[in-house]
Structure 1
């Protein structure tokens, strides 16, 4: 994405034996986000998309394989939703990468980077 990420997570994809994905995703994968403290049936899931990082902290190339565990920059896709998410996001907040109603990875916020709403 062509902007500053909103926050960074440490993630772990669930294995097939944990009812996780049968194959690893690639960079460009568009999962959604849910907060551990919320119920997806009543609160829903959010268009907050990951861009996965290499060991040096740089975003990996589009289409590259994603490691089962690592870090990712997270982007709140609908920037007008930043004020709704800002009070929920802090270091240590737990959440999930989602495919529909299916949790595919667990995650912890490790850094808040930019929760200022863009100027219009």
Structure 2
């Protein structure tokens, strides 16, 4: 499916993403360095909270996209996910599995739909 090995990528886990900007963010543009947070599918952000897990976008060859200009990132692709708070890694290790669905969010607003495709360092 990919022309690179997902298992050798760094990061806590790897996702496929697809932009799904809500009306409030319709003019926003995906870009490297965006600090979206992570919400598990089925969780209520007001009850369960959101997690500081940030994406690092990859190109189609598995290389980190260097250009940080808004709008230069693909609307669909793959991203390495980095859990920001070390003390939450054991919690996420119990929840993150291949196939886990979630969202990138900015505050209460959805930015993209994501699906975990590799567990990465959480499994190591």
- Please give the range of the TM-score, normalised by the shorter of the 2 chains: 0.7 to 0.9
Question: TM-score with structure 1 length normalisation?
Answer: 0.86
Alignment of 1:66-77 (within 5 A): 66-77=73-84
**Does residue 105 of structure 1 match 2:121?**
no
Q: How far apart, CA to CA, are the structure 2 residues paired with 1:116 and 1:13?
A: 27
Task: Write out the 4+ residue segments of structure 1 that deviate beyond 2 Å after TM superposition.
Answer: 18-21
**Does residue 6 of structure 1 match 2:12?**
yes
| Structure 2: segments with no counterpart, 5+ residues | 1-9
- The aligned counterpart of 1:31 is 36
| Structure 1: segments with no counterpart, 5+ residues | none
Q: How far apart, CA to CA, are the structure 1 residues paired with 2:63 and 2:88?
A: 26
Question: CA RMSD of the aligned region, Å?
Answer: 1.7
Q: How far apart, CA to CA, are the structure 2 residues paired with 1:13 and 1:56?
A: 19
Question: TM-score with structure 2 length normalisation?
Answer: 0.83
**Does residue 63 of structure 1 match 2:68?**
yes
CA contact 2:30–2:75 (8 Å) conserved in 1: no
